[in-house]
Amino acid sequence: MKKLLLILSAYAVISFLAIVLLTVFLINPPELLAEDLSAYKFQSGLHNYLVLLPAILLSGFLMACSVQWQHKTSNSKERFSQGMFIRYRNCMVIGLFVVLVLFLNKEVFLFNLENSLEVKRKAPSELSEAIHTARYFINEQQYHLAVQYAQKAVIVSPGSKEAAAVLKESSDLLEIEINSEHSADEIFHRVIETQKPVHTRDAENSPYELVQKAQDAMNRKEWFEAHYWAELAVESCDEKNTNREAAIILANDSWNKLQHSEAYENEDERNYYFKKKEGYVALNSGDNLKAYYIYKNLLDAKNVKPTPDVKRFFELAKENVESEYFFFDETEHMNRLANRHDIYFSLTEDDGTKNVIFIKNSMDIKKNGGLVRYLEGFNLVKYRQDGTFMYSVKVPFAKVMAFPSADIGGKKWKNVPYIILQSVDRNTEGLVCRAEYSFIEDDVSDISEYQNPVSEEEQARISRINSMILPMNFDDFAAISEASAGPAQMPLLALMSFLSKATQYGFSVETFYQCVVSRLMYPLFILIVLLFLAAMGWNYRIEDKTSTFRFKWMFFLPLCTCVFFGIFELAEYVSGILNYVIVGLFGSASVVMAAVCYIIMLFCASVLFVSRKE
């Protein structure tokens, strides 16, 4: 066994050196960063080696068997001899090691190496885009964003002087902005809050504390704050709470105070007060978008310094707006940051209707301690239970947040996707992008004769839908995105966990089962091939007992390896067809039945080997 391992290891090492060196000297690499060139050449050589590794190990194993069994074969003059069982044991030990190496190679090494090469190929464009975007944000005086992109540029190319210079420039400008007294009022609403939402924090106070806050505001003659705290106190009190009556009195008194204008030093202060009142009325009536723009204009006003209550109500209005809309600028860098592409799936609802969904690009952003997902090119087509078209909706961009849900449609999920279909401009009122609904199928040739059974009243109701909740687990989206690229691109564990959900999201479960069967049976497939090769090595072992192993024999192995590469690809193709047949016949039990079939083939290969004789 030692000689077998030695020959196999020697050929693997020599092949590695030859393939890597040939690739390094002959490859014509694409445009790369200077610091990535050497690593790219080496990794390309390593990638070529790993692609050929099955053929290298199999051909090396065949030659090693032929040499190993040149001597001491007298104990195998009969079939099923003790000597052949000892050789079988040694083959199985080495075979299991080869199986482990090839399985890890296929599932881990090649996958990670291909990703690394792709990162290096994209690095020049990513560096250029990151630097360009950082300079853009410097010109726009959005230094916190400029720093983020400059940091990304430095991560992509740590040795880039230009990236380092942009990072230093943006960091210096951000530090000046933070230390500036003028900036304190301007940038507070641009910084992402890591604390709880304002309304949630405020509502966590006890009814007594809320009443005290309202009373303190009344004493300071801050009527807006007094009414806000008093209303929160009323909401938090039940009918029996002793603080309820005091809260109602404070709410009424503060509201009455709001209705009477006071003496103002100038016209600007008077207009400021009435605008603030208009915004507060809009906020309390549920017109959050109007309230948001009113308070934002008050914050940006140069002639009057913003009061603390305006800042608070702006944050409240913004929180409410962000539950109904998202801002245009949240998706302006989708083309740079999108990490999932061409996603498609379907969902069947409890009433039998089906939603078919396609998403061009998706971008995940961590925000406020959670995950926010932005979608580009969101399209949904809804079909009735009988398969007829109901309506379609499309929107250039959408925002998805995790919505806590214990039970929807009889199914329990921790979180479900809440999709916001309308967006607005952060600064300019009136710019709104809403979903476009259609009640006519795209392939209808004669629109004049087309009639959708959906009533006009129902069409009007559907057209007003600006958000939706999908009946699915929010965390399944990542798996669906990977599944859209094909089961072969999914990590094995993710693929196996997705099997039970494939039908739920409209995927062909047979395709996924076939991929699972092929990948799980790969170790057994390799072991079967190795035993057949071992039998071939015995049949074609070196007969001349006086001949010694010669190093020059290894030069014939590359030709053998090339032949084995083609044979191995053909064997994998035949194995794939067998797996399709097993999946077609046994469905969800295909993994078990495939294991039985491959174990039977392994047994046959074992019998074939141990039945060899001298």
The per-residue pLDDT for range 8-47, each reduced to its tens digit, is 888 899 999 999 999 999 989 999 988 899 999 999 999 9
Closest by CA position to 284, among listed 212, 234, 213: 234
Residue 236 has pLDDT above 90, yes or no: no
- Rounded-to-integer distance, Cα 610 and Cα 614, Å: 11
| 8 A C-beta contact, residue 346 and residue 505 | yes
Whether the CA torsion 482, 485, 490, 494 is positive or negative: it is positive
The per-residue pLDDT for range 368-388, each reduced to its tens digit, is 656 789 998 999 999 988 888
Highest average pLDDT, of 188-192, 363-367, 418-422, comes from 418-422
**Range of lowest pLDDT (15-19, 133-137, 230-234, 412-416):** 412-416
Whether the CA torsion 440, 445, 446, 451 is positive or negative: it is negative
Model pLDDT, residue 335 = 66
| 8 A C-beta contact, residue 359 and residue 505 | no
Closest by CA position to 378, among listed 392, 350, 398: 398
Residue 550 has pLDDT above 70, yes or no: no
Contacts of 263 (CB under 8 A, 6+ apart): none
Mean pLDDT of 521-542: 91
Mean pLDDT of 246-255: 88
Reported as a pLDDT band with limits 50, 70 and 90, residue 1 is: low
Closest by CA position to 402, among listed 388, 414, 393: 414
Whether the CA torsion 485, 490, 495, 498 is positive or negative: it is negative
Mean pLDDT of 127-140: 87
**Range of lowest pLDDT (103-107, 122-126, 598-602, 607-611):** 122-126
| 8 A C-beta contact, residue 129 and residue 38 | no
The per-residue pLDDT for range 256-286, each reduced to its tens digit, is 887 775 656 677 778 888 888 899 889 888 8
Q: What is the dihedral of CA 136, 142, 144, 145, to 10 degrees?
A: -40
Model pLDDT, residue 575 = 92
**Range of lowest pLDDT (330-339, 466-475, 517-526, 605-614):** 330-339
Transcribe 497-541 into DSSP letters: HHHHHHGGGT--HHHHHHHHHHHHHHHHHHHHHHHHHHHHHHHT-
Reported as a pLDDT band with limits 50, 70 and 90, residue 547 is: low
**Range of lowest pLDDT (153-167, 480-494, 543-557):** 543-557
Reported as a pLDDT band with limits 50, 70 and 90, residue 444 is: low
Residue 530 has pLDDT above 90, yes or no: yes
Token pair in block for residue 55: 């053929």
Residue with tokens 């925002």: 399
For residue 401, what are the β-bridge partners? 418
Model pLDDT, residue 193 = 37
Residue 485 has pLDDT above 70, yes or no: yes
Strands (E), 409-509: 415-420, 423-424, 432-433, 436-438, 467-469
The per-residue pLDDT for range 44-91, each reduced to its tens digit, is 999 999 999 999 999 989 888 888 887 777 777 888 888 899 999 999
Model pLDDT, residue 7 = 81
The DSSP call for residue 387 is S
Model pLDDT, residue 531 = 94
Residue 245 has pLDDT above 60, yes or no: yes
- Rounded-to-integer distance, Cα 590 and Cα 603, Å: 19
Residue 337 has pLDDT above 70, yes or no: no
The per-residue pLDDT for range 153-204, each reduced to its tens digit, is 888 898 899 999 999 999 898 888 767 644 434 433 343 333 346 666 777 7
- Rounded-to-integer distance, Cα 47 and Cα 223, Å: 71
| 8 A C-beta contact, residue 356 and residue 506 | yes
Q: What is the CB-side half-sphere exposure of residue 235 using CA atoms within 13 A?
A: 13
Reported as a pLDDT band with limits 50, 70 and 90, residue 607 is: very high
**Range of lowest pLDDT (81-95, 391-405, 489-503, 549-563):** 549-563
| 8 A C-beta contact, residue 243 and residue 271 | no
Residue with tokens 């792709």: 118
Mean pLDDT of 438-445: 73
Mean pLDDT of 379-398: 91
Backbone φ and ψ of 418, nearest 5°: -105, 115
Choice between 548 and 170, residue whose per-residue pLDDT is larger: 170
Model pLDDT, residue 195 = 35
Residue 510 has pLDDT above 60, yes or no: yes
Other residues' Cβ atoms within 10 Å of the Cβ of residue 5: 15
Model pLDDT, residue 194 = 32
If DSSP codes are grouped into helix, strand and coil, which group holds residue 305?
coil
Backbone φ and ψ of 327, nearest 5°: -95, 145
Reported as a pLDDT band with limits 50, 70 and 90, residue 208 is: confident
Strands (E), 385-459: 389-404, 415-420, 423-424, 432-433, 436-438
Mean pLDDT of 579-604: 93
Average pLDDT, the chain: 85
Maximum Cα interatomic distance, the chain, rounded to a whole number of Å:
118
- Rounded-to-integer distance, Cα 479 and Cα 483, Å: 6
- Rounded-to-integer distance, Cα 527 and Cα 9, Å: 18
Model pLDDT, residue 262 = 64
Residue 152 has pLDDT above 50, yes or no: yes
The DSSP call for residue 357 is E
| pTM of the entire predicted model | 0.70
Residue 446 has pLDDT above 70, yes or no: no
Query: Rounded to whole angstroms, what are the CA distances from 340 to 16, 116, 129, 151, 482?
Result: 34, 17, 19, 23, 8
Residue with tokens 């009918």: 239
- In the chain, pLDDT over 90 holds for what percent of residues? 37
The DSSP call for residue 408 is B
- Rounded-to-integer distance, Cα 172 and Cα 575, Å: 62
